[in-house]
Structure 1
């Protein structure tokens, strides 16, 4: 398979990420994003339930598949989780969810991590069928590597026990090598769920580096050059074209299993969607 075909295969079935503040852009991407594309709706601390609910409903109304985020440590009680899921079910947006521990250092209620939400039994009770969980190929600034691996294996096992389909969505990165090495390690543990590799959408260099610093993503000078980032021109922009082409070259289904890509839309939902359409159409060099 040549590299162009490999890139097309990786991009087939790509997913996107948005916040509640991006709701106004959902209608604008209907002509450039394939129907049925999964769009994750993040759970930000500054956005209330009404805003997130409106975003998920807008995604569904536009012909896409909403994937609402559930932040375990932000849930005050089982009743709060049940109420949130019941609301999603009433809107027809509960089938796919992404469950993550979340930002608060101290849980607001009984759920200390994503595993505790998965094991609660409430997801299935409200009609959830597929659960995405987080993966960190380059680690997490606040969580030791051993704890990350333990969490990943525990969540994967719990999904199998509860009969929920699962997939892993990774943190974004700028270097293909550690991502693919990590996926091989995941497969070595017997985890065969699909993996969606996090890819930063086109955005300003300064913005990309700020997010990278927050999440512990490697941005050495050599990695920056490989990706196409200019550390001397922070006012410039960068897209993931080099990353995607390198991924298409080095990805091997027999070793890495089912792999797709998930775009973090730091530069905006519409801008990222247009970039993907242009890239797939050969309009970017």
Structure 2
């Protein structure tokens, strides 16, 4: 069972997982809801082909299912401060939203006054509306437009601003295929004194061709060596792959020094498939379910 109220310790990496669910996939989430623990975090991405009403409807649906909605906000796609404020206030009032995730967004030219995610944080809209947690992106495999020094500086600045405003930062990474790269990044993160909870992005089980397509769309590295690290043979592009090897290597490499780490699933192969994979993995690993609150 997926349970996310608080991220778990590194030794129990599958105890706390979150899911990223498109607004159009709410029926699939509802169908799988009985297998997901009450209070689990459901992240709602900000997609260009969906408007704010669709995002708010999705947040309400997540809340009504007994989960914690975490809508994304794409800075460069927001046209005005009034739009940002209205969305956040309605999300809190109508869907009980306590958590948001902020990103810069893909457009090179902002639609309004916000050039990056930090500019959203600086408005003060989130804390005034009652938001308790603000998620920000982590990039273990690099960033398409920022060098390493800039990436660290930006991450530190955002986390510091969130804390200063009385909220809790979460760091959520893009999905990756090489656990060793993620472990190295986590070590560097902690060595810089950034101790906030991290949710490591993991692709849910899906066809290899589907994974390759999403990797290309999201700018995720997927060279032959990384496919191999993930347990995929280049000659088997028509097969299906799960994150077993990735999660095994990540869990085995984590120590107390890595701090609070959990998993964030991108269910590219379907929500039911990801939820089923998590249950099977935990059963295989021998994790108990004591204390988990099952839904009726």
- Shorter-normalised TM-score: what interval? over 0.9
Contact 2:59–2:95, Cα closer than 8 Å, also in 1: no
For the aligned residue pairs, the C-alpha RMSD in angstroms reads 1.6
Shift of 1:7: 8.3
Q: Which residue of 2 aligns with 1:43?
A: 46
Task: State the secondary structure of the residue aligned to 2:34.
Answer: coil
Q: Matches of residues 224-235 of structure 1 in structure 2 within 5 Å?
A: 224-235=227-238
Task: State the secondary structure of the residue aligned to 1:191.
Answer: coil
Q: Which residue of 1 aligns with 2:263?
A: 261
Confirm whether residue 128 of structure 1 aligns to residue 127 of structure 2. no
Q: Which residue of 2 aligns with 1:270?
A: 272
Task: State the secondary structure of the residue aligned to 2:220.
Answer: coil
TM-score, structure 1 normalization? 0.92
Q: Which residue of 1 aligns with 2:294?
A: none
CA distance in 2, matches of 1:74, 1:230: 38
Q: Matches of residues 25-36 of structure 1 in structure 2 within 5 Å?
A: 25-36=28-39
Task: Name which of structure 1's ranges 151-160 and 86-95 shifts more when overlaid on structure 2.
Answer: 86-95
Contact 2:10–2:262, Cα closer than 8 Å, also in 1: no
1:113-154 superposed Cα distances (whole Å, 9 cap, x missing partner) = 111111110111111111110000001223333322221011
Confirm whether residue 202 of structure 1 aligns to residue 214 of structure 2. no
CA distance in 1, matches of 2:38, 2:11: 17
- Structure with larger RCO (C-alpha < 8 A, sep 6+): 2
Aligned length: 277
From 10, 13, 16, give the equivalent of 1:13.
16
Contact 2:59–2:69, Cα closer than 8 Å, also in 1: yes
Task: Name which of structure 1's ranges 215-224 and 198-207 shifts more when overlaid on structure 2.
Answer: 215-224
Shift of 1:272: 1.3
Confirm whether residue 52 of structure 1 aligns to residue 72 of structure 2. no
Q: Which residue of 1 aligns with 2:282?
A: 280
Shift of 1:46: 0.5
Q: Which residue of 1 aligns with 2:217?
A: 214
Task: State the secondary structure of the residue aligned to 1:232.
Answer: coil
From 245, 250, 261, give the equivalent of 2:248.
245
Contact 1:138–1:216, Cα closer than 8 Å, also in 2: no
Give ranges in structure 1 of 5+ residues lacking alignment.
Answer: 1-5
Q: Which residue of 2 aligns with 1:144?
A: 147
From 90, 106, 109, give the equivalent of 2:112.
109
Runs of 4+, deviation exceeding 4 Å: none
Contact 1:7–1:245, Cα closer than 8 Å, also in 2: no
1:6-29 superposed Cα distances (whole Å, 9 cap, x missing partner) = 987101111110111111112111
Confirm whether residue 156 of structure 1 aligns to residue 168 of structure 2. no
